[in-house]
Amino acid sequence: MAKSSSEQGSYAPKNILITGAAGFIASHVTNRLVKNYPSYRIVALDKLDYCSSLKNLNPCRSSPNFKFIKGDIVCIDLVNHILISEEIDTIMHFAAQTHVDNSFGNSFEFTNNNVYGTHVLLEACKDTQNRIKRFIHVSTDEVYGETDMETDIGNPEASQLLPTNPYSATKAGAEMLVMAYHRSYGLPTITTRGNNVYGPNQYPEKLIPKFVLLAMKGEKLPIHGNGSNVRSYLYCEDVAEAFDVILHRGVLGHVYNIGTKKERRVLDVAEDVCRLFGLSTKEAISFVQDRPFNDQRYFLDDQKLKKLGWDERTPWEEGLKKTMKWYTENPNWWGDVSLALHPHPRISMGAHSNDESWSLQNETATTKESAVESSSGGLKFLIYGRTGWIGGLLGKLCEDRGIEFEYGRGRLEDRRSIMEDIKRVRPSHVFNAAGVTGRPNVDWCESHKTETIRANVVGTLTLADICEEKNLLMMNFATGCIFEYDKDHLQGSGIGFKEEDTPNFTGSFYSKTKAMVEGLLKEYKHVCNLRVRMPISSDLGNPRNFITKISSYQKVVNIPNSMTVLDELLPISIEMAKRGCRGIWNFTNPGVISHNEILELYRDYLDPQFKWENFDLEEQAKVIVAPRSNNEMDGWKLKKEFPELLSIKDSIIKYVFEPNKKA
């Protein structure tokens, strides 16, 4: 059992790396630590994006214990170099894209920064051979999702994560990585989840500085929806003190809410700003269209952090006056912020070069025209995964059926090359059969995590984001290996995991990435996510074929599983594209079949002399690196759409064993 902070004593870092240090909250933390702890050496890392500024660090830039490095956390070589050359023992990870409005317009950049960037840091820490003594990961209250308006009980740190927008989904995904590295590698992590923060230096895309600057200009204060959404606000200096406390007294492996029980409606905030400026609320406030989804309330249980010795010090009225005073004295701190003051800002986050921005702007009409041409002249598929098994089978199937198609040339992580593919092909649909499953199996992913997340998460989301932008349906071949039998889905019960169920299997890194990207893809309306399991085909010479695999093993486990017969289901994927199917689908044949049942069919149809042995999961664990997923998928949704779909055993006999017996 972990000792209390008082029993542990106060942690004393030597060299602290603060990521995103020139941003709003991190700059206040950096300035505080540099000033209050001259024996600590603070290394500030920031790529100086649109919402950060070196001016935010003016109070500490001349201090002998401060060093600034301009750079991006997604650069693994830079991060490794800094950790080693600066002898870093502590990381406070603030760097992130945080503005929810932007996440609706450019969600890929949020995944790249918030998920991939965090993963780069974690992997670099893992490779420092225990030099890192404390890794503080800064998350958000939004990962909890919406809080019931009727409850007076805030979300404790053990609450389920239920993010509702692309921003919070990426922060939840990053948290899962932090948790995994703590459990798998013993990385000394602490996670924080905070309420809204306000005060000096904040970029005016956020509510309070936006309202203050608009009031200064005599312009209307735009409120999304009816303004009834409730938020809790903490003053920046109080939050900096909270991080001070967590740095020195936080318990490793724990999560801390940084919150306040004092709540305000967005409309209340606007009215308070109006009062400070002597404005009429009726004349100064305007109501505009709401976000695509706007959580009604976030409410935290703040007791755990208070037990460490922290408490909110700055009353709302005092903090708001300080904030107003700072902005009136520094109206040009951020330069031209006219775009940020728009009711629904879409700030460019540097995801594309100027050339690509021109390309995106000028291709819109062309792409719409091409979609019309495709729908009137027939199907045309753009397929990714040419060298893969499923991608190759899809191409052959299209050839056999006379469906026009082309394979993508670009790498999925490269947004520009995908845009060029779409401009060149002008597809009616996009099929994604690319990704990393491992070479020769998922164990490979355990030692190649950066490559796995780049292909399975970043690449898939890049393609989904572009398809959403271009109004193209993306058929994504995903996996059902994100579940395992549990008390509600017992082996042999016939109760399968449904499309809406939350993944519960995290035994392999491959499955973690697939579960993560599935959660993020839910935010896209133009994606059909097909959960494939243990794929089987009539080609018994293919080493990826599940039957080929187990027939070559000396010993196999004997567990019933849902599986996918590609000969039957790949043609169905094309039909689903024609029908415009969207959302998540369990892409397996109905029912389950065990390893022994398959090998018995193999013996009866193909090789009467064939023999095998069984071993249990405990024995299997000795010869594999990562555990394997075993589960039953509920096939009702797909069977309802395609009533002729055969059960797994009947499909294997019809499409695999009978043709091979004849051959």
DSSP, residue by residue, 181-214: HHHHH---EEEEEE-EEE-TT--TTSHHHHHHHH
If DSSP codes are grouped into helix, strand and coil, which group holds residue 91?
strand
Instruction: Report helix angle 207-217 to 316-329, nearest 10.
Output: 50
Instruction: Provide the token pair at 404.
Output: 């026009």
Q: Per the residue annotation, which of 101, 109, 123, 142 is the catalytic one?
A: 142
Instruction: Find out whether 195 and 232 touch, Cβ atoms under 8 Å.
Output: yes
3-state secondary structure of 329: helix
Specify whether 510 is catalytic.
no
Q: Give the Cα separation of 33 and 500 in Å (integer).
A: 45
**Spatial distance between the Cα atoms of 222 and 284, rounded to a whole number of angstroms:** 9
Residue 42 and residue 45: Cα distance in Å, rounded? 10
- Is 141 catalytic? The answer is yes
Q: What is the Cα–Cα distance from 291 to 224, expressed in whole angstroms? A: 7
Tell me: cis bond preceding 38? Omega within 30 of 0 counts. Answer: no
How far is it between the farthest Cα atoms of the chain? 92
Write phi, then psi, for 351 (nearest 5 degrees). -75, -25
Instruction: Show the DSSP H helices in 582-635 as ranges.
Output: 595-605, 617-621
Q: Which residues lie below 8 Å from residue 594, measured CB to CB, with a gap of 6+? A: 558, 559, 560, 561
318 labelled catalytic: no
CA distance 460 to 86: 35
Q: How far is Cα 323 from Cα 300, in angstroms, rounded to an integer? A: 24
Beta bridge partners of 285: 221
- The answer to whether 650 and 597 are in contact (CB under 8 A) is no
C-alpha angle with apex 194: 325 to 173, nearest 5 degrees? 135
Q: Which two tokens stand for residue 21?
A: 């240090």
Q: Is the dihedral of CA 372, 375, 378, 382 positive or negative?
A: positive
Is the four-CA dihedral 186, 189, 190, 195 of positive or negative sign? negative
Q: How far apart are the first and last CA of the chain?
A: 63
Closest CA to 94 of 152, 24, 158, 37: 24
Q: Which tokens go with 59? A: 């109070």
Among candidate residues 141, 205, 421, 443, the one labeled active-site is 141
Give the number of residues written for the chain.
Answer: 663
Residue of 167, 327, 407, 602 with catalytic role: 167
Q: What residues are annotated to the active site?
A: 141-142, 167
